[in-house]
Structure 1
């Protein structure tokens, strides 16, 4: 079932009629409160018109907005049902228009920072030994990548960023929270579109990753948050510098 807690917003639904936005929110609230599963029948346009006391055109626009987000599905003469959606597909539909603007990319970057820092206590609590081993392996591979003097700087940056994203993906997956992991996977896909803004990687990045691992090994969530905050500070600095453009 789609997670609707972060999507019941007029800014997200954005139908042209404010009344349609209200109906869309009410339908989402119903799905959430009643914990309706994919395939659950919501009604026909006619029955929803009677239920909410609005015109058929308002219902059609509200349903159209929800269908576009992957929250509901419907067929003529059959009716409207809860769709087989997920957080990732819904968030992607929301982010696509957002990413068309320079300001939108910066907001996605901030979003990534908030997710990663906030998830660290859960990472410390839930990470498994094999995940910790994989993180350590990535750090070693990053160190080897930087040690090579024969690589083209652009290729080195591309490969280092790929490894960096994998490090953070495994880290967030170890929080053992599906919602966090799905959000991060989608956000990172868009965040990578700004690779031209990334600084050339240095050994400091590798050391930051190692310090994060050490904090996790120590079972210290406060230290883990501090280390992740320090690690992501260059991202915040980069965002601030882009405001001028």
Structure 2
């Protein structure tokens, strides 16, 4: 199973890159529905990463509907008709790719925030709080921090009550991870951490208050800030 995989560069978002390699093999049919993925230990050795990174990669594949996990047994590829949307592996991204990504994120995530404010459950609110706490406590922003950030946005998608938001936001998670890492390379760690927590906290507060207008505004501010940190100036038409 190790054949066809490559070592992961340290400057990449590790879980997303591992997930992308497995997704490519799954879509090609090299790994077929019903096949069991290698063990965490085996994958950690193959990619030269920790088991924590491997768990996050499997979680991303599960979120995207490519695999299912069975407690105490492992992760298995699911049938094609059960899968969610998955974009091809985009590799490294330039400013043009960032611009295209934000043009999609703006209407998608602003609307998701508004719907989440109206439709979230108490359990989802708790998960959102946990993701924010993990972001605050993370010492490794390029792995744990990015994973918690992406999870925060995915929980908002789930809280809309509309499965399509979850599918689309999960599909672009790899690209969003690139943006997060690129932004954090431009600003001092303590500063970017403070800004990120503040922006996400405002979104959390508005959703918790069940205020869809404030939630949309908070998400809009976050996306505008995120874009500016990679050198983009967004134009809003909504």
TM-score when scaled to structure 1? 0.52
- Note the alpha carbon deviations across 1:86-106, whole angstroms, 9 max, x for none: 6604xx25xx57987752343
Change (3 A) 1:109 1:124: same
Matching residue of 1:217: 208
Q: Deviation at 1:133?
A: 0.7
Q: Kindly name which structure, 1 or 2, has the bigger radius of gyration based on alpha carbons.
A: 1
SS at match of 1:88: coil
CA distance in 2, matches of 1:100, 1:139: 26
Matching residue of 1:121: 114
Matching residue of 2:49: none
Q: Deviation at 1:117?
A: 0.8
Change (3 A) 1:86 1:134: closer
- Note the alpha carbon deviations across 1:199-231, whole angstroms, 9 max, x for none: 243223212222222212221111111111112
CA distance in 2, matches of 1:222, 1:242: 22
- Note the alpha carbon deviations across 1:166-213, whole angstroms, 9 max, x for none: 111111111111111111101112232345412243223212222222
Identify the match of residue 193 of structure 1 among 157, 178, 181.
178
Change (3 A) 1:118 1:137: same
Kept in 2, the 8 Å contact 1:172–1:180? The answer is yes
SS at match of 2:113: helix
- State how 1:27-66 maps to structure 2 within 5 Å: none
| Superposition CA RMSD, Å | 3.0
Of structures 1 and 2, the one with the larger relative CO (CA 8 A, separation 6+) is: 2
- Note the alpha carbon deviations across 1:40-89, whole angstroms, 9 max, x for none: xxxxxxxxxxxxxxxxxxxxxxxxxxxxxxxxxxxxxxxxxxx9486604
Identify the match of residue 136 of structure 1 among 104, 129, 140.
129
Change (3 A) 1:188 1:172: same
Matching residue of 1:28: none
Matching residue of 1:148: none
Matching residue of 2:227: 236
Matching residue of 1:178: 163
TM-score when scaled to structure 2? 0.53
CA distance in 1, matches of 2:173, 2:132: 19
Change (3 A) 1:99 1:215: same
SS at match of 1:204: helix
Kept in 1, the 8 Å contact 2:92–2:178? The answer is no
Matched, 1:103 2:72: no
How many residue pairs get aligned? The number is 149
Matched, 1:202 2:193: yes
- Note the alpha carbon deviations across 1:120-161, whole angstroms, 9 max, x for none: 22111211101101111222222223xxxxx5xxx3343212
